[in-house]
Structure formats: structure tokens, C-alpha cells
Amino acid sequence: MTIPTSLKLLSEHACFGGLQRFYEHHSSSIGLPMRFSVFLPAQATAIAHVPALIFLAGLTCNEETFMTKAGAQRRAAELGIALIAPDTSPRGAGIANESDTWDFGLAASFYLDATEAPWSTHYRMETYLTQELIAVIGEHFAIDTQRLGLFGHSMGGHGALTIALRHAGLFKSLSAFAPICAPTQCPWGKKAFTGYLGTDQQGWLQHDATALMSAQKIAPYPDGILIDQGLADKFLEAQLLPHLFEAACQSIGQPLTLNRHAGYDHGYYFISTFINDHLDHHAYILGSNP
């Protein structure tokens, strides 16, 4: 495949018969260069476009983390599914104190469009993901953007759930690992939302997966949502609150599989253990053709 001139190829690696690539491009919505990674299985050709999964990584991560740690490419190659992982925030915004803490600012965008200065100039991740990135992958890769799934981990799990609920029909399948399910009710979310969105807590609810699900009239994902949660996760009780999202799903009849795993923590050993279950979940709904 010819490398598009509008994308800068940073590296390319043969992987399970396909290609693992890392790119940089100028983002008009962010106003800065953005990076993302793509795994293209062998089934992705000019005459056979494949479905794709977008993975949103968690706090402190970047576009490399999922691709190097999750072990997802082997099963994705078998299923004929592409994988895309964007960076977790803009880089180079030059905001004072942007990297002072690990849970706000750099690598901690919470995948929303900030409304508060100075963050609102560049921290426009929701627009980037739902408009620009999807347009880029649809234009330049053998990917069927009508068959997209969304999943993520921790802060990225929050992003996956909220973005999928806020943009009805854009993503056909949905899952998460240890997501932040009710950010308006946990320290991570309160800190991020105050900084990015201001002090009007009513507005925060538009970026809270539990609140968004509770407001649905019918089940938005009738084929089901999959969540895996480790019970040895040190963030479970104070930050993640999956039981609240579970109750919201039950209240509106949304099918949810919430697997609770004894002994598993918050990291990528946990994710790599159950990644194939998530790929299979998405493949079934998206109708992949191995």
C-alpha cells in the first residue's frame, strides 16, 4: 500500500501476516500533530475493506501502549479486524503545569472537548476521534468505517462508553476494561471535569457513562456491551464504580456482560488475559470475515 503523503509513517513492522504501523499527522481539530497506531491484517486489501476497532488507552499511556502490551494482533489477524489506537492527549500544547500531575493534562485528556481556557484551544479529543480520525482512516486505509467498534481501558474505558453513547450509530459495538463508569462521582473525574469543563456539575453529566445510560429511552447496544473488571484492582472502589453503570443498564434494559475476575489488577497483564474475549465480542457484532 502506498503511504499517504498527508501522513508521516514513523515505523512499520510485519506482524502475524499483517502490518503494525505508527503514524503522525497534523490535526486540524487539535491544532497540533497527533499520533496514532494501526494494525492492518492481511485481509485488508483494496478490494476487501475490513472492520476496525478503535482502542482508547488510559492515564499516562500513548498510541504505542495497547499495541505493544495487549497482545491483540494475533487474534485480530485471525478475525480480519484492523486495530487503531490514538494518543491519549495532544502533545506540545505548551500549557503551564500541563504535566505536573499524572491524572490531569498531558496523557490524561479524558477524551472530551474542553470548554475551559487554556485547555479548550487544543484539548478537543472528542471531535478529533469522532470526526477527524475516522475520516483519516477511512480515506487512507482498507477499513470499512461503517463497521467500527470502540473499546478502551480505565480513562479510555470511560471515553469509549461516553463517546459511544453520545454519538449514536457511529460505533456498532462497544466494550471496556476497568472503565471509569461514573466520573462525576470519583476523584479522577471530578478533578478532570473541573479543569476541562468548569464548575457547572450539571454539564459534567454529559460525559458520565452512568448518567448517559440512565437517560436512554431504549437499549442503544441491543447486541450487548462487554466489560471486564479485576477484583484486585486498587482503583475499583474509589474510582471505577462499575456497579453504578450496571444498575443504569438494568434500568433501561441494556444487555451488559460485566465479568468480575478475582485476583486480577488494573494493568495490561489483566488486559492481555481477556483481550481475545473482547475481539471476539466485536467480531461477532461487526461481522468480520476471517
For cell 431504549, name the residue: 218
Catalytic entry in 122, 266, 278, 282 = 266
Catalytic entry in 87, 113, 228, 233 = 233
Q: What is the pLDDT of residue 6?
A: 81
Q: What is the pLDDT of residue 1?
A: 39
pLDDT tens-place values along the chain, 290 residues long: 344 448 999 999 999 999 999 999 999 999 999 999 999 999 999 888 999 999 999 999 999 999 999 999 999 999 999 999 999 999 999 999 999 999 999 999 999 999 999 999 999 999 999 999 999 999 999 999 999 999 999 999 999 999 999 999 999 999 999 999 999 999 999 999 999 999 999 999 999 999 999 999 999 999 999 999 999 999 999 999 999 999 999 999 999 999 999 999 999 999 999 999 999 999 999 996 55
Tell me the whole-structure pTM to 2 decimals: 0.97
Catalytic entry in 29, 89, 154, 175 = 154
Q: What is the pLDDT of residue 46?
A: 82
User: Could you confirm whether 233 is annotated as catalytic?
Assistant: yes
